Amino acid sequence: MVYFESWDEFVTKSVELFRTHPDTTRYVVKYRHSEGKLVLKVTDNHECFKFKTDQAQDAKKMEKLNTIFFTLMTHGPDADISDVSGKEQAEQPQSKKGRGRRQ
């Protein structure tokens, strides 16, 4: 079991794992409101990758990963996920809206 520090690495490894074992790999999102914790887990019962966060910005990344897994699971492991890479660079277009800071 590994907790990843880097989001991109977590995504890459998880997708890789799913593509290798599409039938046994599952993706779990655990959310604990009282502590403000979010834990993502991808496992095939042999390998287990986890990512833990308490940051709201990571929830946005998680949505991308949700999209990736939905796509992979319903369209097969060979599905094209290049339009939803889920990695950092995918977030950039959002900043163009110029709505100002939402703090």
Partner 1 sequence: MVLLQPDPFLSELTGMYERNTEKGSVWVTMKRSPMKCREKLNKMALEGESLELLCLVRATDGKRNITTLLSPKEYLKFQASYATVLKAHMHALKKRERKDRKKPAEVEKIPEKEPKKQKKSPSKKPSGSKS
Contact yes or no for 91/84 (Cβ under 8 A): no
20 binds partner 1 (CB under 8 A): no
17 binds partner 1 (CB under 8 A): no
In the complex with partner 1, which residue's Cβ is closer, 33 or 99? Answer: 33
| Nearby residues of 96 by Cβ (< 8 Å), 6 or more positions away | none
Q: Is 23 helix (H, G, I), strand (E, B) or coil?
A: coil
Q: Which residue has the tokens 């690495």?
A: 9
97 binds partner 1 (CB under 8 A): no
35 binds partner 1 (CB under 8 A): yes
Q: Which residues bind partner 1 (CB under 8 A)?
A: 22-23, 25-36, 38, 53-59, 62-63, 66-67, 69-76, 102-103
